[in-house]
Chains A and B, each alone.
Chain A
Amino acid sequence: MKTLNKITLTFILFLPMTVVQSVHAEDLPTIRQQMQVIHDHFDVNFIYDSSIGLDIPSQARIRPARQTLEACLDSLFIGTGICWEIQKKYVVLTHEGKRRNPKNYTIFVEERHDTLRESVITALTAKERNTTQTGFQKIDGKSFNKGFAVLSSPDVIKTLQNLPGVASGTELLSGMYVRGGDGSDNLYLLDGVPMYQVSHLLGLFSSFNTDVVQSVDFYKSGFPARYGGRLSSVVDVRTREGNMNEYHGIFSIGLLDGRIQLEGPIVKGKISFNIGLRRSWLDVLTEPASLVVSKVEKSDFRIKYAFWDLNANVTHRFSDHNRLSLNIYGGRDAAKFRQGDKTEESDNGSQVRISYQNEAAIGLEWGNFLGSVDWDFRFTPEHEIEAKAYISRYSSLFSGLENSKEVYSMDEIPYSTYKISENRSRTTDLGLKADLSFRPSETHHLRYGASLMLHRYSPEYLSDEHITENNVEIRSQHFFQNGLKLSWEASAYFEDEMSVAEWMTANLGLRYSSILTDGKGYHSLQPRAALRILCGGNTSLKLSYSEMVQNDHLISSNYLMLPTNFWMPSTEKIAPSHSRQISAGVYVNLPHNIRFSTEGYYKTMSNLLEFRGKWGIYPPIHLWEEAMTVGKGRSWGLETEVSWTDENTSLTAYYTLSWSQRLFEEFYPAWYKDRNDNRHKITLMGTRKLGKRCEVYASWNFHSGGWVTAESHGIWSEELGSYPINFYEKPNNIKIPDYHRLDIGFNFRKTTKRGNESIWNLSVYNVYCSMNPFVVYTNYAYDFTKENLSGLSYIGEAFGIIPIIPSFSYTLKF
């Protein structure tokens, strides 16, 4: 055990959806189990010396529904030799007769592998009711691997898409449209480093490997001043450092991908590592399928797709107050399509034969590289600093190849054309940041910091063409264009989390940011304020106001997340985007382990960008500013959550009622519906433990259909011709069919002979095969039994892509 000056504390956190305990009715509960009941009801965390024994049976009868917290603690600990003391939202336990010294706590994370009782011990997690911010959700990393796994692979973004206020956009694509925002205005951080692209396989998987994720902080509103740079949400993903004392790992193999994770000490107690690797093997499946198609079609057909990603962390603990870590992330997606054929035909019935040999190929690649060096140092018990130097790079490539050869039989002279074109984009950030924390008293927690970033945006276009006749080059051309832009971005912030009274906390902050591109600079001050009022022991009211500024923009000509998109900074012609949001909510712990919350919001956005359409598919690299038009957005809504848990079951229901609108006067002179204006969103989720080793989970997702633009009116008559003359009245005037999907899954757990845990997961995505639309368009239908135009009708048509997908995975934890 440690000396008196160093007390090792263990924080126990139990999340309602993931913590399951097997309690036999005939056994007395232990003190630890009784503490969990108190924790669940009163929402307090326990801090205690790890030498205190808590696994002894307790005969105390506690009734949290009828007793105060103090009365429950009295009942539980009387006669045990354990003293308790309530400090705000913590209960501190000590041995009777020993006095704790709050300045000398050492905090570490201890993970327990207990296959029968899934107790999860992690670092501090703020409960929704007790945090000051509205729109905040903290998800523990363990919860991803102990519940829902879409396609047998747990996923961060898919989990967030279930939450109220988050629209997922087009089927198949991993969009996150938070409270009326666009998909490009979410700040994704991996260990504090911004990440530009978070999708694999166009969104079926995200770039976050849940095997290494420690926690995810998700903000939809009430943003603390330490976050900035995007309008609508913050997804702050933190990865775990490796175990300092023991080697552990996870091996998982599934239908679509495989994962391996290893962690352990390099120097016991001092240096640890944690590595996670994932790779898909869709290419193993598509290669033989391509060969079959090639044989059937008598052509050369190839299709291949694969992705991989790697997380690596090395942490050196110099002392309990001083830590240095190196974090690396690399990920890549590559998709290739190729088709070639040979044909022969005669030239207009003459004797001349022409043979053609054609090959066309397209390649899509994209990926991220992130690296950071982090230094955490507590130089006094009240002062802490986190300093970071990092690099973040996102690159994408879209290439097309045409290779053709013609040979005329009369002269046998081959005539060949070879053409390749590439759209390439690279976005590179180099950054330095420092975050300081200062607790001058128990009622104030100050945070302040600054960052400096150099952004390098480099979209490129390359075209190469060669024409040969009789193997002699008769024509060639080469064209290359680069739209390189450099910009400097600086920010500073100050925030104070304060306890105004026992029943009131507030978080007030101010953030300054600036960007400089080509001599043009923009500055902004962004106030942030959040207030929480406790009403009694179980209810809190919250209110928040925040302004956010986004200094860079995703330039895209369509709503697909294609590698043809590229990022560019604010310039003289394109100003930063800006949002303001006010949010208020009520959060209640009801009896019988029921939680209820409802939160309303109103949000405005300005300087949003939309593609003007003049340049077709690809925004022009050097005229991209002219290709975009500027407009506004606004959204409002109400989000409600009800959840219930007991030892074996957890049920959660989310409902969102929302509106989202846009005003782009170049398209339409008044407000119109945003394409993701999904009026209703419902998510129902449940998990149930079936015995000690099996659990089942299910989720049903529904949201009202989005909107597309189609002709609204027509004039028609026999004199005008067979088809009407159609007109467009306003944007987004047609609602597409509602979206709904049911997923179910089973986890079968087993302890191997060596005491390791193995898990078989069987899951079915889209159980009743709801073909939710991927693309939608309008078309004429004609009833030929009717005369003239009376048989004509106008209908909508949709393509659905994702059918029912069963999958499985096997996971071994050691």
Chain B
Amino acid sequence: MHKYLIILISFLAATSCRYSFELDTYGLEQRIAVRSVIGAEDSTSILVHKALPITEIGNEDTYMDNAAVILKCNGKEVETSSVRLDKTGFRFDAGVFKHGDRIEIIAGADGIETATAVTTIPEKFPDFEVDLKVVENGIRHLNIAYEDNPETEDYYGVSVLRQVVLNATPDVLLPESPIWPISYGEGLTLDPNAYSPVFTLWNGLSLFIWKDCDETDNTYDIYFRHDYENYQIKERQIKCRLFKLSEELYRTILAEYDLSDSPFASLGLSSPSFTYTNIKNGVGWFCSYSTIDSEWISDPQEDL
């Protein structure tokens, strides 16, 4: 029914008058844009750019003379090396951080206010079990059961990858691809209000995300269909890449999801839930995660 409201608004728009006006950004200044998603036990890259007020687009020199980053892990400064990416920014590389490390960044450049941010690398994803069944008309139900810590507020994510071998001579192994959830209301007997996953493409990942209070029984459910007709498939497996997200990463992904999911967001007719940034005096994101992969699970063959 989303499209019906769009039809209604489009009808009103069609009978209306459109005009442009100059934006007044009321004293917006240049900012440091920090973009970094730090993975536990993984090398760290931080992108630092000069961000201009959008009303200056095309008018101002975007060149960033220099940038300096101070990175601290648990209060101690760590070494970084920088590489110029393009005229607007730099990449800073650092070492590997562990679960539980508290990482702070101070980023500065000439003529721009210093930006700061903090993130704590989440602990490992808790013990889990994954189960996959066919429920109806080709819809799969993937259930992830995990041991959540009731004492802490935790944020989770999962990317479900599919591996398919097609019937051919010889067999064709398709590249891994992410699965997509079923559309709103597509499930026949599913409660469309209960199953409303936050699923988004973010930074190259197809992610479902949730926080522990969303789920009261320490399980997470995903419903999806496969793309190919069954007679083409010889073998199909899926694997879960499970994430424990820092709060900053969860809220950053959620903000982008809110923007894409609501048709009213860009029209100024809904709440500003998509404006999250954890960079103080700057823009962008500085966040972290830990990840673990499940084993490959064979897809149920009942309808092949």
Contacts and interface: CB of A to CB of B under 8 A. Distances in A.
B171 to A, nearest CB: 29
B62 A716 contact: yes
15 contacts: A170-B269, A362-B4, A461-B192, A479-B189, A560-B264, A613-B258, A613-B270, A614-B196, A617-B5, A629-B273, A668-B276, A675-B268, A714-B51, A777-B267, A796-B23
B194 A796 contact: no
A41 to B, nearest CB: 47
B17 to A, nearest CB: 5
A622 interface: yes
B88 interface: yes
A708 B1 CA distance: 25
A763 B75 CA distance: 71
A247 B48 CA distance: 80
Contact of A716 (B18, B57, B189): B57
A435 interface: no
B258 A712 contact: no
Given A337-B7, A617-B264, A800 B275 contact: no
A363 B55 CA distance: 41
Given A664-B271, A709-B274, 9 more contacts: A611-B270, A612-B271, A614-B258, A616-B263, A713-B52, A713-B283, A776-B267, A794-B57, A797-B19
Contacts of A398: 1
Nearest to A720: B86
Given A337-B8, A794-B54, A421 B31 contact: no
B265 interface: yes
B25 interface: yes
B181 interface: no
B257 A481 contact: no
Interface residues of A, number: 92
B270 A557 contact: yes
A621 B193 contact: yes
Contact of A715 (B28, B88, B261): B88
B160 to A, nearest CB: 20
Contact of B188 (A477, A560, A736): A477
A559 B270 contact: yes
Contact of A712 (B7, B11, B25): B25
A795 B20 CA distance: 7
Contacts of A618: 1
B284 interface: yes
A728 B1 contact: no
Contacts of B50: 715
Nearest to B280: A669
A734 B27 CA distance: 11
Given A616-B261, A667-B272, A732-B272, A626 B214 contact: yes
Contacts of B227: none
Nearest to B258: A613
Interface stretch (A93-101, A577-585, A785-793): A785-793
A719 B31 CA distance: 20
Given A400-B1, A614-B198, A796 B58 contact: no
A720 B88 contact: yes
Which 9 pairs between the two chains have the least Cβ-Cβ distance?
A708-B268, A731-B272, A613-B258, A613-B273, A727-B283, A719-B86, A713-B51, A620-B193, A728-B275
B57 A362 contact: no
A589 B261 CA distance: 56
B191 A667 contact: no
A463 interface: yes
A297 interface: no
Contacts of A709: 265, 268, 272, 274-275
A421 B1 contact: yes
B57 A613 contact: no
A710 B266 CA distance: 7
B21 interface: yes
Contacts of A503: none
B31 A735 contact: no
Interface of B: 1-2, 4-5, 7-9, 11-13, 15-26, 28, 31, 33, 49-55, 57-59, 62, 85-89, 137, 184-185, 188-189, 191-194, 196, 198, 213-214, 251, 254-255, 257-258, 261-277, 283-284
A800 B19 CA distance: 8
Nearest to A800: B17
A803 B272 CA distance: 29
A114 to B, nearest CB: 45
A799 B20 CA distance: 9
Contact of A731 (B16, B192, B275, B283): B275
A793 B272 contact: no
Contacts of B284: 727
A561 B67 CA distance: 48
Contacts of B261: 613-616
Given A715-B88, A717-B87, A423 B1 contact: yes
Contacts of A614: 196, 198, 254, 257-258, 261, 273
Contacts, number: 254
A774 interface: yes
Contacts of B51: 713-715, 727
B267 A775 contact: yes
Contact of A713 (B54, B263, B273): B54
A610 interface: yes
Given A421-B1, A775-B267, A715 B89 contact: yes
A774 B13 CA distance: 9
Interface in A713-741: 713-720, 724-737
Contacts of B267: 775-777
B34 to A, nearest CB: 10
Nearest to A303: B11
Contact of B194 (A616, A623, A737, A793): A623
Contact of B4 (A170, A400, A708): A400
Instruction: Count chain A CB atoms within 10 A of each CB in B9, B53, B55, B273 and give the residue with the most.
Output: B273
Contacts of B23: 710, 734, 778, 794-796
A268 to B, nearest CB: 52
A331 B26 CA distance: 45
Nearest to A728: B275
A312 B192 CA distance: 43
Given A613-B258, A613-B271, A771-B17, A717 B62 contact: yes
Contact of A622 (B8, B194, B268): B194
Nearest to B6: A617
Given A615-B196, A731-B272, A774-B12, A477 B88 contact: no
Contact of A797 (B9, B18, B58, B89): B18
A736 B21 CA distance: 8
Interface string A425-460: 000000000000000000000000000000000000
B275 A730 contact: yes
B193 A612 contact: no
Nearest to A621: B193
Contacts of A737: 21
Contacts of A720: 86, 88
Nearest to B50: A715
A612 B273 CA distance: 6
Interface in A269-326: 303
Interface string A87-105: 0000000000000000000
Contacts of A667: 271-273, 275-276
A716 B62 CA distance: 7
A712 to B, nearest CB: 6
A612 B258 contact: yes
Contacts of B258: 612-614
A711 interface: yes
Nearest to B49: A715
Interface-centre pick from B5, B9, B198, B276 (highest chain A CB count, 10 A): B5
Given A337-B8, A729-B277, A729-B283, A790 B58 contact: yes
Contact of B275 (A623, A626, A668): A668
Contact of A733 (B12, B25, B193, B257): B25
Interface string A34-55: 0000000000000000000000
